[in-house]
Structure formats: C-alpha cells, structure tokens
Chain A
C-alpha cells in the first residue's frame, strides 16, 4: 500500500468559548478514498477548514504535512496551489456565469491580460467530459440541476490540478441517481491517482466507495478503520460515532405518562413538503406523528434528514411547498398557513439558527423577547415600555440571562445567553406546543444544563414539547419518546426504555434504498 500523502498531527483549534478540535490526527494514504464521519459538531468541517487554509496557519495548534512538506497555508489559494481543493456543502458557483467561466473563475486562461475564449472553451469541454458531463460549456450554471452543478465543482477542482479532493457531504442535496453518478466519478478519479477525502453521514455510501474511514467525536480522533476489513460493519462505525457515556448532564426527569383517551396536543398526519426550488424532491415525505401534553418528544436525524424543514413547514409553512397533510391541535384540525395563525393556535418554533432566524441582533434583549407577542404588553397598539421592561427583567432573572441590563443588544451576548433570549421570547408568547430545533447547538455545557431544566419545566407545566436534535445523548437524557428521521421520512419510533444510541443511529443512517427491507 502507498505511503501517506497527508498527515495531520494533534490538531487543536479553539473558538472563543468552544474547543472545536481538541486532538485530531488524520493520516490519508496516497490514492485512496478516505471517509470521515462523526455526529454533527464532531469537528469534521472545522478539520477540513484547517486543512484547506480557511483557518490559516497560526490560528491552530499541531502540524499539517502534505506530500511530506509542512504546510503553512495562509488562505485557500495557498492550499489550492499545492493541489488541495475543497468542495463545500453549499456550492460555490456563480449562477449567472457559464460553466466554462465558473470552472476557470479566478484562474482564467489569458493572453496579454485578456480572456482567451478558445482555450477556455476547449479546456472546459475537456474537463466536463472527464467528469461525465456533455453540456455545452457556455450553458449557464443556473440552467443545470444540482447534481450536475456538483460535477462542475469537481471539474473546477480538476482545472486546478487537484491532488487531494475534499468533498463535504457531497450527496446531501442530491437524489439517488445523481448520488450514484457522483460516487462513480470519485472511484474513476481514484484510478487516475487523485486522493479524496469524503465527509458523509451515509454509511452505505462510505461502504461503497471508501477504503478507510476515520471517526471523529467531540473534536477527537476516535479511530481509523479499514473499510475492506470484514469487521468494519455499519454497527462498528456507529458505535465509534456515538460511544460516549452518559454523565449527569441532564436534570432528573420523571417521564410523563399522559392519560390515554385524550386527544394529543399536536398531531401531524401524512405531512409532505417539496423543496422550494427543486420541486421534484420530497424534503419531508409522508410524516405522521403525535405529541401529548406534558410529553417531550425527540426527533433524531442527521443533517439533511428534513427535521428543520418539517418543523418550519408546520410553523406557518415557512419552508418549502406544502404538498399534503394535516395538523391537529387537541384533536381538531387547524390551519397553520401563516406564522400568526400558527402562533394563535399555540404553536411556537425555536429555530436552530438563532442568529439568522431567531433574533434581531442589533436590538435589545427586552425588545427581542417581546417581539412575537407585543400585544401582551400593548394597549390599543401602544407598547407599555415599563411593563415590557418588567417582563424582560423577569426572564433575565428566571432564565439567568447574563447581561448587565435588558437594554443590552443581543448581538453582544454569548451563544448560550442568546439562546435563552430566544427561548424567553417564545415562552412569553404562551404556546401550548413548543418545537425546539437544536436548542443547545453551539453553547457550553453549563448553559446546556440550564436549558434542559427549562425544557423539563415546560413539560411539567403540561406543554407539549418537540425536541429536535442530532445529539443523541441529549435526546436520550430528555425525551419520553423519540422518532428517527432520514431522507425526509420517519424511520422509527422508540420509547424512552427502548432507545439507545446504537438503535437510533442505525435508523438515522438508513437511506431510502434499504428502507423497504427494514420496514
């Protein structure tokens, strides 16, 4: 077997308040396809950013060796000159430029400072052939599908004389057919001597194309396995991904046993949602679920499973195109076509992306908290500022929001405190059903515990809580019942007693193809 082409030794990367990578070692052999897997937040993307120079040399500890030379990349350009090219999950193509222009963007074929169109088109055609595309190089990127765009990204990488190709979740936005083509291409490139690193959640894909797999967990390398080894089963990989012991990180909960017979607080029947642009794609596929009063129901799924899309489409149809299904509150069918309607029916959605969808960062704590229910502190359309301030002060104390006053802009708060503001905002709205989407993402352990306590209290008060998370321990620690989701479908339902990290992960990594077998 060939020697290592890439070695990353004891990489440590800290962000303010969070240690994203605490000790990662990665060795990739010349000419192999190397998979990296791990839960969301395990440090996969951060590691690739270190490798590609997005986090420049000097902002991390440890060393990176490529082709036996020490790398000191100061930006992406520097790593690309060495032949390391990363293709991000979100494609970085300019939609209104042609394929050829995109392929050579920043790297144009020129003659005396002007673009040499003949050479550009000739070379683009050649590169497109290599990735299996026969579209004309003057086609606009906006006019081809996502699957082809992914291939154009690879053609662009080839134009840079790529030696090490990094693909971050390359198939997460693709349908089965396009995924298959892409994986075939990776194998072809391997034969041409190009080494690939592929980050993926889909274990069947890893088994299909990878030679070895490195598992990350909590910013550490757990192990590197040889995929061809018969001992490397999917279960083996899963146990590596989740193998973490449950400490006392959750408040003691007495699971609720809601009375039988009463209608569930929230019931969703046959909910189907299409992608807003690619309308062939079902992002949420025939989902039915129930949540009772006082119950915390988890939805487990990896990135791209459709959890957020499900939640947002239920909450005022703020995602995608609704293609069928009904929502019932306390047994009665309700309309939730707009956000105000959903709120009026006592539904609240706490977003996973508090900075973009949850908070007005330039405004103060008190105004953020009151926004979704201003009517509660207003008479005849006029806000009573003193009452508003008193409400905010109340939340500041009860939620332990660390800020000198409620007049602090929320943009200045830490992630944990921002999350407490978002939660306060929705608790203030007085909902009966709370959908919490990754409520503890990116916040420290102490703040997590506080948020768990709040969630537990909400359930104890008789609210119905939907808890979306990709961190299995927190679901196991908090939920009465857990649904698993993969590729837009519910793939399992577990009671608190039945659920384990392994059983959940097995259902979360099911792809559409083998679903029929297991069901």
Chain B
C-alpha cells in the first residue's frame, strides 16, 4: 500500500529552514510534519501499537501470512464502505443506509445469478448500477430536495432492509457461480518457476515499488521546476527507503502464502484512485470546500448540489461493490447480511480522522481507521475475547480516538 496518497506527505511539511539537512534539522522537520498531521500519524502509530500488542499476545499468530491474508479478506467490505463514507462525512453528511444497501445488492446479485442464471460479469455490472441508482435517489433528496442526510438515509436503511427480505422471501439464497467466487475470494494465479514465494505477487510488489519511487522522483523534479522548496535530499531518501520497506514487507508476507488476494488489488486501486481524486481533482477540492464552509463554497461558485449528489451516488456504488464482495465471500445472499456495517464504516472514518462538522479527513485515514477496527476484531478473535467484550473495546477505542482529537485541537487552538 503506497502512502503517497495521504493528504499531506512529508512534502507538505514546512520547507527546510536549514536546507542543508543536518541531523538536527531532519528530526525537526519530521517532528514538524508530524505535528501538523497529528491525527493521521497518531492513528498510524496507534495501529502499529495494536498490531504489536496482538502480535505478542497471540505469540506471532497475528502476523502469520495466512492470517494477514485472512485479515484483508475479512475486512475488505468494511474498508470499501469506509472509503465512500469518508467522502460523505467530509462533505458534511452521513449515510446510515450502506449496511442495508449492501444486503440489498447482495440479494439482487442472487436474484440475477442464482434465480435467473445471468452471466456473472453482466450481473456484477447490473448490481453496481443498482447501487448507483439507490445512491442517486438518496442523493437527489439530500442535494436537491434539501432533506437532512440523516433522515433520508435512515429511511433508506429501513427501505433497503425490507426490500432485501422481500426479494429473498426471508431465505438465504446461493450458491454463486464459480467465476464470481474465485474473483472475489481468490488470489492472483500461480505462474512461473517454484521459488517458495508467489511469483506474480512478488512481481507486483516490485513493480509497485518502482512506480512509487519513480513518481516521487518525478514529483520532486516538478517541484524544483516550479522553483518551490523541496524536501532536503537526505529526508527525501529516508522517505523512499521507508516506503520501499513498507511495501516490501507486505509483499513478502502475502507472497509466502497464496499470494495477493484479488480483493486487495481492488482495495489498493480504490485507495489510490480516491486518494488522488480527493487530493488532486477539482471535484475532490469541492467536496472539502462544501464540508468546510458551505456558504463560502457557494459564494466561490462551487456547484454544491451537484457535488453532494455525486458523493451519494458514489457511496451507493461502493456499497454495491461491498455487497458483491460480501455475498461472494459467504457464497450466499442473506437477509441478515451487512447488519451494522454502516456503523463500522462510520466508526472507521471517525477513527481515521474525519470530523463531525465536515471538511476534514483523508481516504488513507479511512483505511487506517478500518484497519484499526479490523486488527482489533481479528486479534481479539485469536486470543479468544468474546464478541460481547469486543464491542465494548471497539466502542472505547472510538471514544478515545475522537476524544484525543478534540483534546489535541483544543490544545492547539488556545
């Protein structure tokens, strides 16, 4: 997972006051950068601590290649939802309907593929369209109808849940075609000589490293072209090394089991894509602007209604994707699918740095938040903590994360 889609890479840190990059300056620079993005780094560190804690507690089981693979698969649908939810929350809204919508799309998938034997790629496209329409309808009420998103999506939550039960007659429906299962549940294919590692995954990892390094170098050159301050050479090198190490670790972990799950690739693409859009695309900027100060955004010529509408349409489509992944993973559509998913996704977004009042947050933050929850789930399962206590602990983590943020802001603000 590359980190160059964070909202603020260290490149956004104040330019080197002592450009020479002495040891002191380096440390200072890194601290400055971290202080600016306290929430994101804080959560990254917290994630590291949680991983370390459970790695020790489970005597290393947490980091077994098989478990890492599992962790990705188990949490993929929440992570997909969290990306969309982050956009919704940044725009200053909330979406309570995504759990039900996930189940609804799952039921539609079953109706298309199991009852009507449609070819699975066609059914997948139809399902994504259903999600987009559902999101668009809600988005229309919110953006153009002026209804509060809380109410509209609460209505959606009830409606979609009910429709799911109607379509499924209250029954579980399955199984899905092989093609869908191997795509949503499977891994990259085995190719090439036997190296004890999964070749394609290794290749992909190396490719990613090359891409990231190239991108960083190009970015740096562009900055110099525009005569802007750049990171001191030493720190830049350190950043490259850190990025490479991170990607390499994950690659090796995955490659020593069955390879990279296909869902991980989808997630990676979503993370990079949405991260780029939120940071660099005009529409992304407009989402931050309407969430940060709606009247000011309107007076700046931002078409706030259209942006809001698109954010919800997108959320619907991502919920459909999550629904497909979920249904394929359990190989059946169930009326009880996706229960409380919306709450998990919302929690992930807030743990990952979103603000209740909107205008703040990053896509990477949503992923980090989702992973914090995911690792907690997985780790507590491994050590045998019951679901009762799991909920208590997750609740407290959410409270602590947002509490820390509020406290930190107050300290900075005063």
Contact = CB atoms under 8 A, between A and B. Distances in A.
B222 A386 contact: yes
B301 interface: yes
B285 A387 contact: no
Contacts of A163: none
Contacts of B282: 374-375, 378, 381-383
Contacts of A425: 300
A359 to B, nearest CB: 6
Nearest to A374: B282
Nearest to B293: A360
A385 interface: yes
B301 A372 contact: yes
B359 interface: yes
A360 B281 contact: no
A367 B300 CA distance: 12
Contacts of A362: 292, 359-360
A56 interface: no
A81 interface: no
Contacts of B225: 386
B288 A360 contact: yes
Nearest to B224: A386
Given A389-B228, A390-B228, A371 B297 contact: yes
Nearest to B360: A362
Most chain A CB within a 10 A radius of its CB, from B222, B281, B282, B302: B282
Contact of B227 (A375, A390, A407): A390
Nearest to A351: B299
A385 B15 contact: no
Nearest to A393: B228
Nearest to A315: B299
Given A318-B298, A386-B222, A371 B285 contact: yes
- Interface size class of chain B, counting residues whose CB lies under 8 Å from the partner chain: 20 to 34
A61 B289 CA distance: 41
A360 B299 contact: no
A358 B222 contact: no
B283 interface: yes
Contacts of B223: 386
A358 B286 CA distance: 15
Interface string B138-180: 0000000000000000000000000000000000000000000
A385 B288 CA distance: 15
B14 A360 contact: no
A349 interface: yes
Interface string B269-312: 00000000001111101101100110111111111000000000
Contact of A359 (B228, B283, B293): B293
A166 B281 CA distance: 52
Interface string A363-382: 10001001110110010011
B53 interface: no
B407 interface: no
A513 interface: no
A363 B288 contact: yes
A383 B285 contact: yes
A361 B222 contact: no
Contact of A382 (B280, B299, B302): B280
A479 interface: no
B323 to A, nearest CB: 29
Nearest to A360: B292
Contacts of B299: 315-316, 318, 339, 349, 351, 357-358
B141 to A, nearest CB: 22
Contacts of B12: 407
Nearest to B229: A405
Contacts of B298: 318, 339
A357 B288 CA distance: 15
B298 to A, nearest CB: 6
A340 interface: yes
Contacts of B15: 405
B227 to A, nearest CB: 7
A358 B296 contact: yes
Interface string A339-363: 1101100000101000011111111
A69 interface: no
B354 to A, nearest CB: 12
Nearest to A344: B301
A446 interface: no
B226 interface: yes
A340 B303 contact: yes
B280 A361 contact: no
Contacts of B288: 360, 363, 367
B356 to A, nearest CB: 13
Most chain A CB within a 10 A radius of its CB, from B12, B298, B300: B300
Interface in A427-478: none
Interface string B350-376: 000000000110000000000000000
Contacts of A372: 300-301
B293 A361 contact: yes
B296 A385 contact: no
B295 A356 contact: yes
Contacts of A378: 281-282
Contacts of A360: 288-289, 292-293, 296-297, 359
Interface of B: 8, 12, 14-15, 36, 222-223, 225-228, 279-283, 285-286, 288-289, 292-293, 295-303, 359-360
Interface of A: 315-316, 318, 339-340, 342-343, 349, 351, 356-363, 367, 370-372, 374-375, 378, 381-383, 385-387, 389-390, 393, 404-405, 407, 425
- State the 9 A-B residue pairs at the shortest beta-carbon distance, nearest first: A360-B292, A372-B300, A360-B293, A339-B301, A340-B301, A386-B226, A390-B226, A374-B282, A371-B300
10 contacts: A340-B303, A360-B292, A363-B289, A367-B285, A367-B288, A371-B302, A378-B282, A383-B285, A389-B226, A407-B12
Given A316-B301, A383-B281, 6 more contacts: A340-B301, A342-B301, A343-B301, A351-B299, A378-B281, A393-B228
